[in-house]
Amino acid sequence: MVAANREMAVYCFDTLVAHYNSEDAPLPAFDEGQHPLFVTWMKVVNGGEPCLRGCIGTLEARYIINGFRDYALTSALRDRRFPPIQAKELPTLECTVSILTDYETANHYLDWEVGKHGLIIEFTDPNNNARRSATYLPEVAAHEGWTREEAIDSLMRKAGYSGHIMESLRKSIRVTRYQSTLFTLTYSDYVSYVRETRGAAPTINGVKHVNH
């Protein structure tokens, strides 16, 4: 099984830096494969708690080199919840790459473990019969301090449901649980990696961006 690793996170930073420089990213230093994957960008300001800046991926298997390239940019620039990440934010960023594994159909909406499983929920909106779905990666519920029921209710809101959440509706949800491997890389660690492996720190339009 392919596990998320540092080289995948480096490639995501490489891809974003190359975008700002209007050039091609260096070739990735990991092997090709086919897996569902996500790219998450967090922003850390003044040593505080990391704040989400973008998170997009695919629940279907994709060739991971193209997948990480595409979702590094999509999550950074086209997550509709946030304005696009600007080059000047790079020193404050950290990137988490996730490879999703072990998809299983849960027996009911509480048949999963906080901190271990990610979730995909699917249900029919009782107000308009629309099919709704949403996902949270395995680390989300634990990071937010949610119970399993709180995570399910939050996912229903994420899916676009705005009505009253009844127990009968929770019981109607189809839940797929999954696990993941992940790797998180800060921009300063990325700079150190690039300097050690390529002999010079990355530059944005000729200007070195290094954490002070």
- The CATH architecture assigned to 6-101+180-198 reads 2-Layer Sandwich (3.30)
Look over the chain and give the mean of its residue pLDDT values, rounded to a whole number.
Answer: 94
Residue 32 confidence class, pLDDT cut points 50, 70, 90: very high
Select from 174, 171, 178 the least CA-distant residue to 140.
Answer: 178
Pairing outcome for strands 131-136 and 174-186: unpaired
What is the residue whose two structure tokens read 């695919």? 58
Q: Under DSSP, is residue 115 helix (H, G, I), strand (E, B) or coil?
A: coil
Q: Name the residue ranges covered by the structural domains of the chain.
A: 6-101+180-198, 110-172
Contact 112, 148 (CB under 8 A): yes
Residue 87 confidence class, pLDDT cut points 50, 70, 90: very high
pLDDT exceeds cutoff 90 at 186: yes
For position 201, what pLDDT does the model report? 87
Compute the Cα dihedral for 80, 12, 201, 22 and give only its sign. negative
For position 206, what pLDDT does the model report? 65
For position 212, what pLDDT does the model report? 42
Provide, rounded to the nearest whole percent, the portion of the chain with pLDDT above 90.
90
pLDDT exceeds cutoff 90 at 205: no
DSSP string for 157-185: HHTT--S---HHHHHH-EEEEEEEEEEEE
* pTM summary value: 0.89
